């Protein structure tokens, strides 16, 4: 009986803790949504509760959708994030597999090189990159921003995939060789299909990183903004209500991709694979 009570209290404390953490995480999002739906008169009244008070309005959202600036920025951000993700996976997956199958000494050196490449501040890298891209006529082009994003995400996704390929037993490849498959066939039929959950996780994280990227977009964009730049455009001019609406739009794909990501975090995906 005492054990049952203790288990019930532990369960209650667990749900209370999860509720508190969820509230802390969701409060900024709810506040941002509320600011995008509140009238300016109500927003500047200090005697009213911001989240639950009156003064709801859709005027700011109508202004965002009616300005003609949302859809080009949304399309550009979606296009750049998607192309960056595809190219990052295609380039980093073979390299990560090779690193995972090298000797311990060289593997350590290569992995440390990936870490070191991410230690430099983005602002310090973005300026020389933009100068070089200017000479190549890549400024204010989709290709230029995609290549700049690859500079940022390639070491990151390669590091993730090295761990993914290391978790695949070499006996799976050896069994494929015994069955007469070559190296490329083994990679195509065995290694990459088995590693798809890890590749999917890396791809989604790269997509989110590219979707939210601001520094390179700021340096390499002249005319058509991405969504983060469009949010900055309104915020820099004091348009906090339109900025909140844009920030809410940016957040929605992040939440959706995060929920999708959780489905691929599967433990024991290689259990029984050798059999």
pLDDT, one tens digit per residue, over 2-19 is 557 777 888 888 889 988
The better pLDDT of the pair 100, 84 is held by 84
CATH number at residue 245: 1.10.3720.10
Answer yes or no: do 108 and 119 share one domain. yes
Tokens representing 26 are 């969701």
DSSP of 154-167, one letter per residue? Answer: HHHHHHHHHHHHHT
SS3 for 90-122 is: HHHHHHHHHHHCCCHHHHHHHHHHHHHHCCCCH
Based on the domain organization, do 99 and 233 belong to the same domain? yes
Q: How far is CA 137 from the centre of its chain?
A: 28
* Beta carbons of 4 and 28 less than 8 angstroms apart: no
Residue 274 lies in a domain: no
45 shares a domain with 14 = yes
Does the residue 271 lie in any domain? no
Same domain for 214 and 150, yes or no, is yes
Q: What tokens does 76 get?
A: 């550009």
Share of the chain above pLDDT 90, in %: 19
In a domain, 172, yes or no: yes
Tell me: do 150 and 50 sit in the same domain: no
* pTM higher than the cut 0.85: no
Same domain, 126 and 236: yes
Question: DSSP secondary structure string, 192-248?
Answer: HHHTHHHHHHHHHHHHHHHHH--HHHHHH-SSS--HHHHHHHHHHTT-HHHHHHHHH
Give pLDDT, residue 266: 53
How many structural domains are present in the chain?
A: 2
Is residue 68 classed exposed, middle or buried when 0-12, 13-18 and 19+ CB atoms within 10 A define those classes?
exposed
Residue with tokens 């761990």: 163
Does the residue 267 lie in any domain?
no
Say if residue 214 is in the same domain as residue 137: yes
Q: Quick one: angle between helices 70-100 and 142-166, nearest 10?
A: 40
Domain end marker among 14, 29, 57:
57
**Does 46 lie in the same domain as 168?**
no
Residue 262 banded pLDDT, cuts 50, 70, 90: low
Could you report the per-residue pLDDT of 150-181, keeping only the tens digit for each? 988 998 888 889 888 888 887 777 777 777 77
Summarize the confidence of residues 105-116 as an average pLDDT: 81
Do residues 143 and 32 share a domain? no
Residue 56: phi and psi, rounded to 5, are -75, 140
What pLDDT is recorded for position 267?
44
Domain match, 145 and 201 both:
yes
**pLDDT at position 176, please?**
75
- The reply to whether 47 and 156 lie within a common domain is no
In a domain, 269, yes or no: no
- The residue among 5 and 83 whose pLDDT is bigger is 83
Q: Would you place residue 271 in the very low, low, confident or very high pLDDT band (cuts 50, 70, 90)? A: very low
d(CA 119, CA 113): 10
150 with 240: CB under 8 angstroms? no
The band of 274, judged by pLDDT with boundaries at 50, 70 and 90, is very low
* From 13-27, 41-55, 104-118, 129-143, the region with the lowest mean pLDDT: 41-55
Q: Considering 57, 72, 88, which residue would you say is the last residue of a domain?
A: 57
Alpha-carbon dihedral angle through residues 156, 196, 262, 205, given to the nearest 10 degrees: 20
> How much is the pLDDT for 254?
81
Confidence of residue 272 (pLDDT cuts 50, 70, 90): very low
| The pLDDT value given to residue 91 | 92
Whether 95 and 161 share a structural domain? yes
Residue 270 has what DSSP assignment? T
Are the C-beta atoms of 111 and 228 separated by less than 8 Å? Answer: no
pLDDT tens for each residue of 184-226: 777 777 788 888 888 888 888 899 899 999 999 999 988 888 9
3 state DSSP class of 56: strand
Residue 240, burial from CB neighbour count under 10 angstroms (0-12, 13-18, 19+) = middle
Segments forming the whole domain that contains residue 173: 60-262
Q: Lowest mean pLDDT: which of 19-23, 159-163, 237-241?
A: 237-241
Question: Quick check: 105 and 188 in contact, CB under 8 A?
Answer: no
- The pLDDT assigned to 239 comes to 79
Picking from 33-42, 145-154, 217-226, which range would have the lowest pLDDT averaged per residue? 33-42
Beta bridge partners of 38: 56
Residue that terminates a domain, selected from 57, 83, 98: 57
């Amino acid at each position: 009986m005492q054990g049952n009570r203790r288990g019930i209290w532990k369960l209650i404390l667990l749900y209370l803790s999860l509720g508190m953490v969820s509230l802390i995480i969701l409060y900024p999002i709810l506040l941002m949504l509320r600011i995008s739906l509140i009238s300016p008169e109500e927003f500047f009244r200090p005697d009213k509760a911001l989240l639950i008070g009156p003064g709801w309005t859709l005027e700011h959202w109508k202004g965002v959708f009616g300005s003609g600036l949302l859809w080009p920025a949304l399309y550009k951000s979606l296009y750049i994030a998607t192309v960056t993700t595809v190219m990052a996976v295609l380039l980093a997956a073979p390299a990560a597999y090779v690193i995972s199958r090298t000797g311990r000494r060289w593997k350590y050196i290569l992995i440390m090189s990936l870490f070191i490449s991410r230690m430099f501040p983005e602002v310090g890298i973005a300026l020389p990159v933009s100068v070089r891209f200017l000479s190549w006529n890549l400024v204010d082009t989709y290709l230029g921003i995609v290549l700049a994003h690859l500079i940022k995400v390639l070491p990151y996704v390669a590091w993730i995939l090295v761990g993914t390929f290391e978790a695949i037993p070499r006996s799976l490849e050896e069994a494929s060789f015994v069955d007469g498959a070559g190296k490329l066939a083994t990679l195509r039929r065995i290694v990459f299909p088995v590693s798809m959950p890890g590749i999917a996780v890396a791809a989604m994280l790269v997509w989110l990183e590219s979707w939210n990227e601001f520094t390179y977009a700021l340096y390499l964009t002249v005319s058509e903004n991405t969504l983060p730049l469009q949010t900055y455009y309104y915020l820099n001019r004091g348009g906090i209500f339109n900025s909140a609406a844009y920030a809410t739009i940016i957040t929605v794909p992040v939440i959706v991709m995060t929920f999708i990501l959780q489905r691929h975090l599967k433990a024991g995906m290689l259990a029984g694979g050798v059999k």
